[in-house]
Structure 1
Amino acid sequence: MKAYVFPGQGAQYVGMGKDVYENDPIAKKLFEEANEILGFRITDLMFEGTEEDLKQTKVTQPAIFLHSVILAKTLGNSFQPEMTAGHSLGEFSALVAAGALSFEDGLKLVYQRALAMQKACEIKPSTMAAIVGLDDNIVEEVCDSIDDIVVAANYNCPGQLVISGTFEGIDKACELLKEKGAKRALKLPVGGAFHSPLMEPARAELADAINNTQFNIPICPVYQNADAKPQTDPANIKQNLIAQLTAPVRWTQTVQNMLADGADHFTEIGPGKVLQGLIKKIERSVTTEGISQLQ
Structure 2
Amino acid sequence: MTKTAWVFPGQGSQTQGMGMDLIEVAQDKFKQAEEILGWSIIQRCQGDEETLSRTLYTQPCLYTIEAILVDLLKDKGKNADFVAGHSLGEYVALYAANVYDFATGLNLVKMRSQFMDQAQGGKMVALMKFNREILEKTIENTENVVLANDNSDGQVVISGEPNAVDEVVEAVKAKLAVPLKVSGAFHSPLMAIAAAEFAKVLDEAEFKDAQIPVLANVDPNPSIDGQEIKERLKQQMTGGVRWREIMAQMPSLGVQEVIEIGPGKVLTGLFKRSVKDVSLVNINGLENL
Q: Same fold (TM over 0.5)?
A: yes
Note the alpha carbon deviations across 1:53-86, whole angstroms, 9 max, x for none.
1011110000111111111101214321110000
User: Which one of the candidate residues 223, 233, 236 is aligned to 1:231?
Assistant: 223
- 2:21 maps to 1:28: no
> What is aligned with 1:177?
172
Letter in 1 for 2:54: Q
Asked whether the equivalents of residues 61 and 114 of structure 1 are also in contact (C-alpha less than 8 Å), the reply is yes
Equivalent position amino acid for 1:226 in 2: V
Give 1:72's match in structure 2, choosing from 67, 70, 73: 70
Where 1:253 maps in the other structure, the secondary structure is helix
Instruction: Give the aligned residue type for 1:164.
Output: S
Partner of 1:213: 205
Deviation at 1:184, TM superposition (A): 2.0
* Distance apart, 1:190 and its partner CA: 2.1
Quick one: distance in 2 between partners of 1:116 and 1:9? Answer: 15
Say which of 102, 127, 132 aligns to 1:131: 127
Range that drifts further, 35-44 or 130-139: 130-139
* Mapping of residues 206-285 of structure 1, within 5 Å: 206-285=198-277
Shift of 1:135: 4.4
Aligned twin of 2:104: 105
- 1:79-133 deviations in Å (ceiling 9; x for gaps): 21110000000000000011011100000001100111122x23xx111111222
CA contact (8 A) 2:131 2:172 kept: no
CA drift of 1:14 comes to 1.2
Equivalent AA in structure 2 for residue 7 of structure 1: P
TM-score scaled by length of structure 2:
0.95
Q: Secondary structure at the match of 2:90?
A: helix
What is aligned with 1:58? 56
What is aligned with 1:5?
7
Return the offset for 1:52.
0.9
Task: Tell me, in whole angstroms, the C-alpha distance in 2 between the residues paired with 1:171 and 1:288.
Answer: 36
Structure 1 alignment gaps of length 5 or more? none
User: Equivalent residue for 1:193?
Assistant: 185
Distance 1:281 1:67 in 2: 26
- Per the TM alignment, residue 282 of structure 1 is displaced from its structure 2 partner at its CA by 1.3
The amino acid that maps onto 1:64 is L
Whole-angstrom CA distance in 2 between matches of 1:118 and 1:19 = 28
| Matched letter for residue 21 of structure 1 | I
CA shift digits 1:30-53 (9 cap, x unpaired)? 11100001111222111x210011
Answering whether residue 87 of structure 2 is matched by residue 88 of structure 1, we say yes
Deviations 1:127-182 (A, max 9, x none): 11112223444312111222x3110010101121110011111111110111xxx2
What RMSD over aligned residues (CA atoms) do the two structures have, in Å?
A: 1.2
The answer to whether the 8 Å contact 1:83/1:221 transfers is yes
Counterpart CA distance in 1 for 2:222 and 2:131 is 25
Are 1:156 and 2:151 an aligned pair? yes
Paired residue type of 1:67:
I
The one-letter amino acid of 1:223's match is L
Q: Is the 8 A contact 1:139 1:177 kept in 2?
A: yes
Distance between the aligned counterparts of 1:229 and 1:289, measured in 2? Answer: 23
Q: Quick one: distance in 2 between partners of 1:17 and 1:185? A: 31
**Local SS of the residue matching 1:222:** coil
Amino acid at match of 1:18: M
Q: Distance in 2 between matches of 1:216 and 1:78?
A: 22
Is contact 1:136-1:161 (8 Å) kept? no
1:116 equivalent in structure 2: 115
Contact kept in structure 2, 1:158 and 1:281, CA below 8 Å: no
Indicate the SS of the match to 1:53.
helix
Q: Is residue 60–residue 106 contact of structure 2 (8 Å, CA) maintained in 1? A: yes
Secondary structure in 1 matching 2:255? coil
How many residues are paired up?
284
